[in-house]
Amino acid sequence: MTFNPDAITQDLVWLVEIEVALRLEDVAWIGAGSSYPDCYYVAHPEGKPSRVKQCLKSTGGIVTYAPDMADLATCQTTPSSWYWDGANLYVHTSTGDPPDAGGGSGSGSGSGGGSGSNMFLINSYFWENISDRPVDLFVDSIWHPYRPLLDPSSIADLSFEATQFSTGGITQSFGSVRALNGDGYWDSRLAVYVYEGKRIIVKFGKYGDAYADYVKLFDGYTGGITWRDESVEFDIEDPRRFQE
Amino acid sequence: MLNIKLPKTRYNTTTYANLEVRADGAPIPIAYGDLHGVIPICIDETIFKYKLAGHAIHAIDMIKNVEKTLVLGSDYSVGPGVAEFTLSSTPYLKALTLYYFVIDGSYGPSGSNYVSFKRPGGAGYPDGNLFTINAGGLWTSVPASDLHYRISGKANLGDQEVVKVNTTSYSTSLGIGLNDDPARTRLAQSFITGADAYYLTRVSLWTKRHGNVTGNLRITILSEAGAPVGTGEIRVGVQSMLQAINTNDVWHKYVMYFPLQNQEASLICNIEGANKTIGLPPPAAGATIIDGANVLEDLVVTRLGKTTAGLLDATALANFKTKRTQEIVAYVDRDTTFGEIVGKLESSLLFKFVPLHDGTYAPTVYEADTVEVRPHFFDEHFLSFSMQHDFAAVKTIVKVKYDENPGNNEFKVTEADSDVARFVYGVEDTLEVETYLKTEANAATLAADYLGMYETPPLEITFEIRGYGLNLIPGRDKVKITRTRAAYAGGALSGVLFRITKITKKPGTASTEIVAVLDTQTY
């Protein structure tokens, strides 16, 4: 049944999806074998990436890899591509060099610098899904569990205003999204993954609806993060700050 | 102390009666370091005297106008404390006015080694007269006598030069010696200008050398309200012309050219600022101050009139001096405060001017710890604890402005650029830092240092503890944190160093709130 947002009921479900980045330039990549000399892989327990991007530091050029090749052989013949085998992420860089070429000196903290003298910066992205109650939603042919960590009362007002006359421009204000952290779920994740400056989508719908029936409330970017023992607050940033 | 206004002195027409109009009320600058492009202020438009700073400076390295670099001696002379100079301007003669040119030589009185000047057998110029001037400055007219001379000039400096005054023709010629007798230590010739004013560009004379005289001759143009000329001499065009003696021992034309310049609106100078007179070495006393520690000390002592003892923490100052040796240039020619100058120095040299509890200030440089840091807080100490990733602080480009041109206030700029901030965080924010740095190399290093701190979100903690924060000082002191849960690698903090940026003491709850930043992300 299609969700009608004007007929709000007690069965509302709130979803928050954040496209988290994982910095991969400093991890130990493994050659995919002599048949695929330009492909390298690494375990990717986060699941199938939503995107993989590369920055060639010598030029500053940023490339989004061609998504999920049909097989490793296709990845081998396609520079700037990736392939997911269900457990490992394979990449073929734009130059064919190993993703960790240059031997960087990473900090070991996902949000803490690194990259050193690496030839590339490489990020994989995946969606972190949370909701205000346990739900599994069928998205892109896969069932996605949504962790019940969202505090929907924390979703603050979002305002958008077009100013008039001489001042010009658009003013926007943004709130934040708070997630529960009583079990320490976010403790190490905030260090391992990059949550700042990432796509965040807030949706709501009726419990039991299909994913396609959920209504998008907001699609923007995260900003700063405040961590406490009991909760984590993701600020929402003005999307005009971002270049994507 | 931070709010004390600098510079402390201003140009005004009480002190400088003939000040150029645009400078009236402007601050008299403070100058440090090797400054290029300083525009001098004319403090006396009648004699073309200029001022560069409100204090003695080490040197004027160069003065140039739109056409050429001026030469010390012939084009300008340097005044007291080297911070002032006076142009050797072209004498500008008014119409229908009586003037004198006065000749003297650099050689001593001698009846055998001297220079003589040709003169007609009678009066050669109806509107003037020849004078001798003795060692006591007494002028004596030589009746019905003139020098043989010619004066050339231009109505405008760019015009063609024409003869303005010329001796009439005569049949017999005589000579008159200069400094061959104590009664003739100088010679003077009066003349009257014509219907139009003009710039005097040259004086031509006819001279003869006697014996082995060597040295220079000098001509000074004078005007005077009433004869005889004496203590009331007024120079027209400040500097006298000085030129080597002609070596001919027969009558020979001798021409002295005056510099073709008047009051300059387009003068620029390269100078070396305040000398070191106090405090920390190097540089040696008398040399130019070019480092931050000596600038700081000089500001406190010389510009603010205070003493460093009891005001600047000696140990911290000495350490600042050792660790921050980058070359500094500062030309403070706008109203500012001591605090603003210190703030810009802090940005330039990555240190903090930390106020201590005993009333002194410690110029504190970031350093890795060599001794155990106190205090060390554990789980049981925290009344509250949070961590923030300050995403607003992330910068992709750091633009360091350095070596400001004092003339047009334009900076040189160098940039550092972060692929990490652009690629990983997707932002293009720029941090602009205005500095007193002199060299591109130091500015580039500073830009890279800033980028190292801001290309990822600085990790900040805020926590509350019991008590009143001991004697902790923000900006200087650090704390070590051990916590079983944290948004950090491994999900915990184990003896991780943070530098305190803010302390709030709360008497109502007998507690203290502390804000600190991950030690490696501060300076």
Q: CA angle B490-B493-B496, nearest 5°? A: 125
For chain B, give every domain's residue range: 7-89+261-334, 92-257, 368-389+458-523
The region of weakest confidence among A201-205, B365-369, B498-502 is B365-369
The predicted pLDDT at position A92 comes to: 97
Return residues 388-417 of B near A (CB < 8 Å): 388-392, 394, 417
The predicted pLDDT at position B300 comes to: 93
Mean pLDDT of B408-422: 95
Mean pLDDT of A18-23: 96
The predicted pLDDT at position B80 comes to: 77
B492 touches chain A (CB under 8 A): yes
Give chain B positions within 8 Å (CB) of A194.
Answer: 424-425
The answer to whether the CB atoms of A123 and B423 lie below 8 A apart is: yes
| A contact test, residue of B397, B425, B461, B498 with most A CBs within 10 A | B425
Mean pLDDT of B219-248: 63
The predicted pLDDT at position A158 comes to: 66
Distance from CA of B385 to the nearest CA of A (A): 7
Distance, CA of A135 to chain centre: 20
Confidence label for B51 from pLDDT (cuts 50, 70 and 90): very high
pLDDT in tens, A25-76: 889 999 999 999 999 999 999 999 999 999 999 999 999 999 999 999 999 9
Mean pLDDT of B126-143: 88
Mean pLDDT of B248-274: 83
B424 touches chain A (CB under 8 A): yes
CA nearest to A124 within chain B: B424
Give chain A positions within 8 Å (CB) of B424.
Answer: 21, 23, 121, 123, 194, 197
**pLDDT of B225 above 70:** no
B347 phi and psi angles, rounded to 5 deg: -65, -35
A75 phi and psi angles, rounded to 5 deg: -60, -40
The closest of A4, A49, A60, A59 to A23, measured between CA atoms, is A49
The predicted pLDDT at position A164 comes to: 63
Distance from CA of B457 to the nearest CA of A (A): 7
Confidence label for B32 from pLDDT (cuts 50, 70 and 90): very high
The closest of B412, B433, B258, B406 to B331, measured between CA atoms, is B406
Give chain A positions within 8 Å (CB) of B383.
Answer: none
The predicted pLDDT at position A112 comes to: 40
Structure ipTM: 0.86
CA nearest to A231 within chain B: B386
The answer to whether the CB atoms of B490 and A191 lie below 8 A apart is: yes
* CB-closest option in A187, A221, A232 to B491: A187
Q: Which residue in this structure is represented by tokens 């900040």?
A: B460
Tell me the C-alpha distance between A67 and A35, whole Å: 21
Q: Are A101 and A38 spatial neighbours (Cβ–Cβ below 8 Å)?
A: no
CA B105, B107, B109, B110: dihedral to nearest 10 degrees?
Answer: -120
Tell me the C-alpha distance between B470 and B502, whole Å: 13
pLDDT in tens, B34-48: 999 999 999 988 778
A153 touches chain B (CB under 8 A): no
B430's CB contacts (< 8 A; 6+ apart) are B395, B396, B397, B398, B399
Distance from CA of B496 to the nearest CA of A (A): 14
**pLDDT of B351 above 60:** yes
A117 touches chain B (CB under 8 A): no
* Percent above pLDDT 90 for chain B: 64
Mean pLDDT of B461-475: 88
The predicted pLDDT at position B89 comes to: 74
B428 touches chain A (CB under 8 A): yes
The predicted pLDDT at position B522 comes to: 84
The predicted pLDDT at position B372 comes to: 64
The answer to whether the CB atoms of A243 and B428 lie below 8 A apart is: yes
A230 touches chain B (CB under 8 A): no
* pLDDT mean across residues, chain B: 89
Q: Which tops the pLDDT comparison, B258 or B200?
A: B200
A55 touches chain B (CB under 8 A): yes
The predicted pLDDT at position B48 comes to: 83
Distance separating the N- and C-terminal Cα atoms of chain A? 35
Domain B368-389+458-523 fold is Elongation Factor Tu (Ef-tu); domain 3 (2.40.30)
B452 touches chain A (CB under 8 A): yes
A235 touches chain B (CB under 8 A): yes
The predicted pLDDT at position B223 comes to: 79
Q: Which tops the pLDDT comparison, B149 or A155?
A: B149
A143-150: which pairs have CB atoms within 8 A and are 24 or more residues apart? A146/A15, A147/A185, A149/A179, A149/A180, A149/A181, A149/A185, A150/A14, A150/A15, A150/A16, A150/A177, A150/A178, A150/A179, A150/A180
**pLDDT of A85 above 60:** yes
The predicted pLDDT at position A109 comes to: 35
The answer to whether the CB atoms of B389 and A187 lie below 8 A apart is: no
The answer to whether the CB atoms of A237 and B423 lie below 8 A apart is: no
pTM, entire model: 0.80
CA nearest to A244 within chain B: B426
CA nearest to A195 within chain B: B425
pLDDT in tens, B263-309: 566 899 999 999 999 988 889 999 999 999 999 999 999 999 988 88
The region of weakest confidence among B272-286, B364-378, B469-483 is B364-378
**pLDDT of A157 above 90:** no
Residue B376 has a CB neighbour count (10 Å cut-off) of: 13
